[in-house]
Amino acid sequence: MKPTLFVLAAGMGSRYGGLKQLDGLGPNGETIMDYSIFDAIRGGFGKLVFVIRKSFEQDFREKIVSKYENHIPVEVVFQDLNDLPAGFTCPEGRQKPWGTNHAVLMGKDVIKEPFAVINADDFYGRDSFAVIGKWLSEAAGKKNEYCMVGYRVGNTLSESGSVARGVCETNAEGYLTGVVERTAIERIDGDIQFIDENGQKVVLEENTPVSMNMWGFTPDYFQYSEDYFVEFLKKNIDNLKCEYFIPLMVNELITKGIATVKVLDTTSKWFGVTYAADRQGVVDKIQALVDAGEYPNKLFQ
């Protein structure tokens, strides 16, 4: 059974001011997402599911979905502020979506096989899709065994400033024991470092795994997510800014011993447009990968 790729794209319209600015960074105007889809298909994925906001469905189908439809089956689901469990109502004044794990929940009716979750606007690289695709293709029928791609922190930095990363803590067997969000990570005088909550400088080893929101789950994850969302809302419904994030759910499952999350190493270099100044660097990096034969000059002919 081929796994499904679930792409979180509901934030797109707000961040780019509509899809028209979905930035063409490849030699023929390809978006970062085009490369992810291309890599997923060659990594053995058999279906694509996008979660978007209903307001830009037509635009999205015309500009995005139409590109992939001849290459892989595509489904679209919607994230909506009012899509809450029975007994809960979205508080007045809330505009922020309910977060990445709420977005994941929107796939529960269309995803019945192992699936990977990615952000629409991160460049994950060919090897990462091969690694997670292989793991998920062997996960059919399993429960409570998940994975995530752990990028080597040195492969995820920006040349234009510091970055925030989920630094992964793992046990001797390579399973995740926790993810701690660290801000202001940057390379200074050759060392990758950040300042911790006590104001102390901490140096990270080059290959320390960090989360770039590339997760692998089996469908049982949806039920846990639904149940825990109720608990989350009981505590946070009146906080207009709180969000239900994937690491929150994952931490809950691993600390209670309900599920395991294997951290998969990848040689891929992550990149994205964290700062406006990153854009040209991303264009150059993609061109270099095309020149090296990693990608064809034109994707999705």
State pLDDT tens for residues 99-142: 999 999 999 999 999 999 999 989 999 999 999 999 999 999 99
What distance in Å separates the CA atoms of residue 164 and residue 198, rounded to the nearest whole number? 17
Looking at domain 4-291, its CATH superfamily turns out to be Spore Coat Polysaccharide Biosynthesis Protein SpsA; Chain A (3.90.550.10)
Q: Is the alpha carbon torsion for 264, 138, 247, 105 positive or negative?
A: positive
Crossing angle (nearest 10°) for helices 246-255 and 220-236: 100
Q: Is residue 246 within 8 Å of residue 118, measured between CB atoms?
A: no
15-68 tens-digit pLDDT: 545 564 578 899 999 999 999 999 999 999 999 999 999 988 998 898 889 999
Domain layout of the chain by residue ranges: 4-291
Kindly state the greatest CA–CA separation across the chain. 55
Which amino acid, one-letter code, is at 139?
A: A
Residues in the chain, overall count: 301
Give me 167's structure tokens.
């630094």
pLDDT above 70: percentage of residues in the chain: 97
Which amino acid, one-letter code, is at 75?
A: E
Among candidate residues 35, 28, 32, the one with its CA nearest the CA of residue 16: 32
More confident residue, 212 or 22: 212
Which amino acid, one-letter code, is at 89?
A: T
- Bridge-based pairing of strands 191-195 and 201-204 is antiparallel
7-18 tens-digit pLDDT: 999 877 555 455
What's the pLDDT at 15?
52
Residues 216-239, mean pLDDT to the nearest whole number: 97
155-190 tens-digit pLDDT: 999 888 899 999 999 999 999 999 888 989 999 999
Would the pLDDT of 94 be above 80?
Answer: yes
What's the pLDDT at 159?
84
